[in-house]
């Protein structure tokens, strides 16, 4: 097959994996009640079960980072897409809690490379001045997966059950695998002779705790935890159980949040390119989202239009997190880009795994509103730590 004339087609093909990742990890938010019923789980039990996804995701980032730098984007992306497709099929067929736990672990492992694949490809294929814009485009395309897991999947779950949603995800994995196989041809970067896989894996962890990334790792710990906690788990129960909406009505509000998550990254990529001040943008966005979550809880007796506005604002503002990828890219040489970006993703999903478990425990104690409040507290603490560490490193 001839070489592509530019990076756009392979980047967009790789971003289909991120569409899958976003859709499959946010599906439980719209199907929580029926999944709890069929699997015999409480709300906190479902939170713990689905928390296996980000846990496996975070662990898998080490081999994914090694694979991206050692074997290239194409081979790594095809491998993780195959694993994710298997995980979706396992979830669709899971007879009970043990089967679904296995499915979540396989899905988390497979989805670990879905964002890092296109981001790493772009880091090597586009000029530094345009990397922020392309990061926004990748997140915008990938976040359409959350559009799929809102109103469309709400309709599918109502019509055919939650298992049909996972079968749809298996089909999407097969489509993305085909697109990547047909379009991506970027070779693996040169690597140092004599380095073992274990040494490369150790370097991912070393980068994660290095002074260059330490502050960003603290920032990332709470950042994606909010997206996954609100849009992936507690958003649906809040709207259906606390606010009394139907599944379709809740799906419409979650669709608005997902739409904001889809559009905002491109806008913020342009803003960051024009305005600069990435640290201020990152910190300010986190503090603002923490305030919005608390406002959501305080408006428990307000009309659902309040919730719709808050969810959309959270989706838009939290999207400033994509600015962190540019800071990581600037902190390391090109041959270490895959490992460095994967290190940041360890923080994103490791934090999500921890906060999913914590929020489940808090929900058992104080209800869904308390679970949401725990996400706001995490944002405030981690953002303050981020600013302190940045100042110490300056």
Q: Which two tokens stand for residue 312?
A: 């959309």
d(CA 349, CA 84): 16
Q: What is the structure's pLDDT at 1? A: 37
- Residue 197 has a pLDDT of 66
Q: What is the pLDDT of residue 81?
A: 96
pLDDT value of position 3: 44
- CATH number for domain 8-184+197-393, candidates 1.20.1250.20, 3.40.50.10490, 3.40.50.720, 3.30.1330.10: 1.20.1250.20
**pLDDT value for 188:** 64
pLDDT at res. 287: 97
**Could you report the average pLDDT of every consecutive run of 10 residues in the chain (394 residues)?**
66 94 84 87 81 85 82 91 96 92 94 87 82 80 83 86 93 96 79 63 75 88 87 85 89 87 79 80 94 96 94 92 81 73 82 86 91 96 94 75
The domain spans of the chain are: 8-184+197-393
Q: For residues 198 and 195, what is the distance between their CA atoms, to the nearest angstrom?
A: 8
């Amino acid at each position: 097959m001839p070489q592509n004339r530019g990076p756009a087609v392979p980047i967009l093909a790789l971003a289909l994996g991120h569409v899958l990742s976003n859709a499959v990890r946010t599906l439980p938010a719209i199907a929580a009640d029926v999944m709890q019923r069929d699997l015999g789980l409480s709300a906190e039990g479902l939170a713990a079960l689905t928390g296996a996804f980000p846990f496996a995701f975070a662990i898998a980032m080490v081999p994914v980072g090694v694979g991206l730098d050692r074997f290239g984007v194409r081979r790594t992306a095809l491998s993780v897409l195959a694993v994710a497709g298997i995980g979706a099929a396992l979830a669709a067929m899971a007879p009970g809690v043990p089967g679904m736990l296995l499915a979540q672990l396989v899905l988390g492992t497979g989805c670990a490379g879905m964002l890092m694949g296109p981001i790493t490809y772009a880091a090597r294929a586009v000029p530094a001045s345009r990397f922020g814009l392309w990061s926004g485009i990748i997140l915008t395309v990938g976040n359409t997966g959350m559009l799929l897991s809102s109103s469309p999947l709400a309709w599918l779950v109502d019509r055919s059950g939650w298992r049909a949603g996972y079968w749809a995800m298996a089909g999407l994995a097969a489509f993305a695998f085909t697109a990547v196989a047909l379009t991506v041809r970027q070779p693996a970067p040169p690597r140092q002779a004599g380095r073992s896989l274990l040494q490369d894996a150790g370097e991912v962890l070393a980068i994660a705790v290095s002074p260059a990334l330490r502050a960003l790792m603290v920032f990332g710990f709470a950042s994606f935890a909010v997206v996954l906690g609100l849009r992936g788990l507690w958003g649906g129960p809040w709207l259906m159980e606390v606010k009394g909406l139907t599944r379709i009505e809740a799906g419409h509000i979650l669709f608005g949040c997902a739409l904001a998550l889809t559009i905002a990254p491109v806008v913020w990529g342009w803003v960051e390119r024009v305005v600069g001040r990435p640290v201020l943008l990152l910190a300010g966005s986190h503090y603002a989202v923490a305030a919005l979550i608390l406002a959501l809880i305080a408006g428990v007796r307000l009309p659902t239009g309040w919730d719709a506005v808050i969810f959309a604002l959270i989706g838009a503002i939290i999207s400033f997190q994509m600015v962190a990828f540019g800071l990581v890219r600037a902190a390391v040489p090109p041959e270490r880009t895959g490992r460095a970006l994967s290190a940041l993703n360890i923080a994103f999903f490791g934090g999500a795994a921890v906060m999913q478990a914590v929020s489940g425990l808090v929900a058992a104690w104080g209800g869904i509103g308390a679970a949401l409040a725990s996400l706001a507290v995490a944002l405030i603490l981690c953002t303050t730590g981020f600013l302190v560490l940045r100042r110490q490193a300056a």
